[in-house]
Structure 1
Amino acid sequence: MRRLTADERRLLGMRVRAQLLAEPAACVADAVERMLSMQAQDWFGSLWAVAQRADASAADVEAAQARGEIVRSWPMRGTLHWTRAEDIRWLALLTADRIDRRDAGRMRQLELDDGALARSRSVVEATLADGPASRQTLLDALVAAGQPVHAQRGPHILGHLARHAHVVMVSRTDYALHDVWVTEPRALDGDEALAEVARRYLVSHGPATIHDLAWWTGLTIADARRGVDAVRGELAAFAVDGVEHLHASGLEPAEGVHLIAPFDELVLGYRDREVTLRGEPLDRIVPGSNGMFLPAIVVDGAVSGTWRRTARAAGIEVETDAWVPIPGRREPALRRAVRAYGAAHGATATLV
């Protein structure tokens, strides 16, 4: 692992604070609102990612979803995220057309043209007319209506309906109609939406670059720059190796040891992960480059190893694989992080 410069250490420490890992939000809904959107394809990992940013439990996150405060959907990059309910519509529609163009070839292979998608939407809306229904119920209804769901056809149908704000996920497996479940959606589009996504990304993830924003959202560099230019006066900046990084004014770095979830925003929230990984290759956290990110040990914002949990009758055992020895002075902080993980899951967790 390479030695970080003073500016790089400051950048990582500032991200720890911006991402609520040093000072959690007051509640789950506030945490998700602050983060704007958080990776959520790994269900259990995503519950922990939100919970630790709100000093809450995994059950609290599920309860916030059940109350309609947060939803799970595909607002960006064709990937599941947590989002405040009122934000999902404008955020999803901001990049929906770009994802449609990106996936056009695959949709043709699956014979999902405009007609097939319109028919599928009618089936799904009819099935959800009386209230939420499970993913399997929706897939069964599509098959019964003559719309095959094999070869990933079903997930592509549901993903398309979600990113065009027709449906949202309201539990681990259940869907609901967007316009029924989200009663007060924000109405943003065009330059106003670009400014909003730039402002909230850079406040919650900064210091970050325009290229980080473009990657995170799936926007073009030109659109990301338009959004940033609209809010630049609200932000502060400093350069790392000559590259401008933008962030909230008054943001100070924080220290700490954290056990972050797989796909956590501290890693996935940026295009450039060189500093976060301290020069280590990505496959140390994504073995075999299979797209599956491991949960990570983070020391002062830098990934220093990975960890895994094992459920036992007496509680949870946490085993770490540190790439470099954790300094003795950080051992108490590591044990506190382990205990916090256990508390969020209603169990006693111990470091083994």
Structure 2
Amino acid sequence: MTAELTAAQLRRARWHSLALSGESITTTPAVVDRLGALQGQDLPGVLISLAIRAKGTTVHDARRHFDDGTLVRGWPMRGTLHVLRAEDLLPMAAVTRKRVLGGMAGQARRLDISQSTISRVIDAVTDVLSVSEPVGRAELREIVVRAHGGEPAREVVSHLIYQLCTRGLICHGPFRGEQHLIVHTESWLGAHPASARVSNPDLDDFLAQMLKHYVTGHGPVSEADAARWFGLPLTTIREARLSLGEQLVTVLTPSGAQWMSTTAETERILSSLSRRPRVRLLPGFDEFMLGYADRSFAVPAHARDEIVPAKNGMFRSTVCSGASVVGTWSKGKLGEQLHVQPFAELSAHTKQGIHTAAQEIGRVTGKQVSVRLPH
């Protein structure tokens, strides 16, 4: 019998799948295993997203797994930064590269960057980085400028770096202080053999397994959600889903038929939907907002513009109660006070939950924080 979920149950099922109930995962690599990848544009935010999902862990613990080569931050999908297992970066880039590079061709023409220039810079930069220590962003730009020659415009340099990124040739590996350093991907993986255990996977099978991770860590999801998340055509997603067979199950939702994984964890999630999820303060680029094609499942219609107020792709941090977004939050000038901007009057239960959630942010970041609620 196919499960049929209400709108509230859909929200709660996604919340639990995203490991936001904080009950069973104990390491940040296990969080990535569960979700497949996490949006990583905002570095402080994704470190918090990792830490709050793994019981008892901190941002420092998350950073350690980048330093030891277990995790990387790269551009495997949609040309956007994500955190994923190190060994998954190159095959994921191979799956998505053609589509991403095709979308970049127009900008290369506009900037008058020839394919021969791109190839020359790629060869020169990878030669340097493959034998160098990890570098910072400014150092990388200097290497690209030297490889290009002359005085290229800043936009040209950025585009050439993007060409390296989307091919999976470079990624963010270890930290130097607060800076996330850039490495030559294959050299970094080679220095950490455990991260390179899958050298030449079958890409169709690899995509199917990554789809399974995505569904397990985000479900219920639609095929449109999956196509947007991977940045791939619907036909490619449908083929990958077909190859998974009975490893995925269909559930019915107010938004139509959606997928979940056929696991004991899914059974546990579906049996716990009557339990109200805790209040949490989520970073702006958390997968709860970025993991789906449509955020209306969790954000009230009158407040959707509050999440991305300038409509420029910059997401505000969210206050979530009962797996619904009830407001946004931001840091004060010193970063020690969290300012909450609710969409409507908050209940006493939610207010108390916000203070508890702020304590959690303080624990994972190692900072003393307080909450400022509107009077």
Alignment TM-score, normalising by the size of structure 1:
0.92
What residue number does 1:195 align with? Answer: 208
**Distance in 2 between residues matched to 1:192 and 1:144, nearest whole Å:** 40
Residue 282 of structure 1, CA deviation: 3.0
Unaligned 5+ runs, structure 2? 191-195
What residue number does 1:272 align with? Answer: 294
**Partner deviation per Cα, 1:168-204 (whole Å, 9 max, x = no partner):** 1114442111111113153334421331122111000
Residue type matched to 2:304 in 1? L
**Distance in 1 between residues matched to 2:107 and 2:255, nearest whole Å:** 40
Unaligned 5+ runs, structure 1? none
**Distance in 2 between residues matched to 1:239 and 1:66, nearest whole Å:** 42
Residue 242 of structure 1, CA deviation: 5.8
1:7 maps onto 2:9 in alignment: no
**Distance in 1 between residues matched to 2:5 and 2:351, nearest whole Å:** 23
**Distance in 2 between residues matched to 1:232 and 1:298, nearest whole Å:** 34
Determine helix, strand or coil for the equivalent of 1:162: helix
Matches within 5 A, 1:200-279: 200-241=213-254, 243-248=256-261, 249-250=266-267, 251-252=269-270, 253=273, 255-279=277-301
**Partner deviation per Cα, 1:264-322 (whole Å, 9 max, x = no partner):** 1001100011112132353211112122100001112221110112264xx82112111
What residue number does 1:164 align with? Answer: 167
What residue number does 1:317 align with? Answer: 337
Tell me the percent identity. Answer: 25
- Larger mean CA deviation between 91-100 and 161-170 belongs to 161-170
1:176 maps onto 2:175 in alignment: no
Residue type matched to 2:135 in 1? A
Q: Do 1:343 and 1:349's aligned partners in 2 also have CA atoms closer than 8 Å? A: no
Q: Do 1:87 and 1:185's aligned partners in 2 also have CA atoms closer than 8 Å? A: no
Count of residues in correspondence between the two structures:
346
Q: Do 1:139 and 1:154's aligned partners in 2 also have CA atoms closer than 8 Å? A: yes
Q: Do 1:31 and 1:53's aligned partners in 2 also have CA atoms closer than 8 Å? A: yes
1:300 maps onto 2:307 in alignment: no
**Partner deviation per Cα, 1:182-230 (whole Å, 9 max, x = no partner):** 1315333442133112211100011110000000110101111111222
Q: Do 1:29 and 1:64's aligned partners in 2 also have CA atoms closer than 8 Å? A: yes
Residue 150 of structure 1, CA deviation: 2.4
**Distance in 2 between residues matched to 1:242 and 1:157, nearest whole Å:** 41
**Distance in 1 between residues matched to 2:127 and 2:5, nearest whole Å:** 58
Q: Aligned-pair RMSD on alpha carbons?
A: 2.0
Residue type matched to 1:323 in 2? F
**Partner deviation per Cα, 1:77-112 (whole Å, 9 max, x = no partner):** 111111111111111211111011111100112233
Determine helix, strand or coil for the equivalent of 1:123: helix
1:31 maps onto 2:31 in alignment: yes
Residue type matched to 1:161 in 2? L
**Distance in 2 between residues matched to 1:169 and 1:341, nearest whole Å:** 24
**Distance in 2 between residues matched to 1:326 and 1:38, nearest whole Å:** 30
**Distance in 1 between residues matched to 2:338 and 2:119, nearest whole Å:** 48
Q: Do 1:94 and 1:189's aligned partners in 2 also have CA atoms closer than 8 Å? A: no
Matches within 5 A, 1:114-133: 114-128=115-129, 129-133=131-135
**Distance in 1 between residues matched to 2:144 and 2:103, nearest whole Å:** 24
What residue number does 2:144 align with? Answer: 142
Q: Do 1:16 and 1:300's aligned partners in 2 also have CA atoms closer than 8 Å? A: no
Residue type matched to 2:92 in 1? L
Alignment TM-score, normalising by the size of structure 2:
0.87
Matches within 5 A, 1:28-67: 28-55=28-55, 56-67=57-68
**Distance in 1 between residues matched to 2:340 and 2:218, nearest whole Å:** 26
Q: Do 2:72 and 2:171's aligned partners in 1 also have CA atoms closer than 8 Å? A: yes
Q: Do 2:125 and 2:147's aligned partners in 1 also have CA atoms closer than 8 Å? A: no
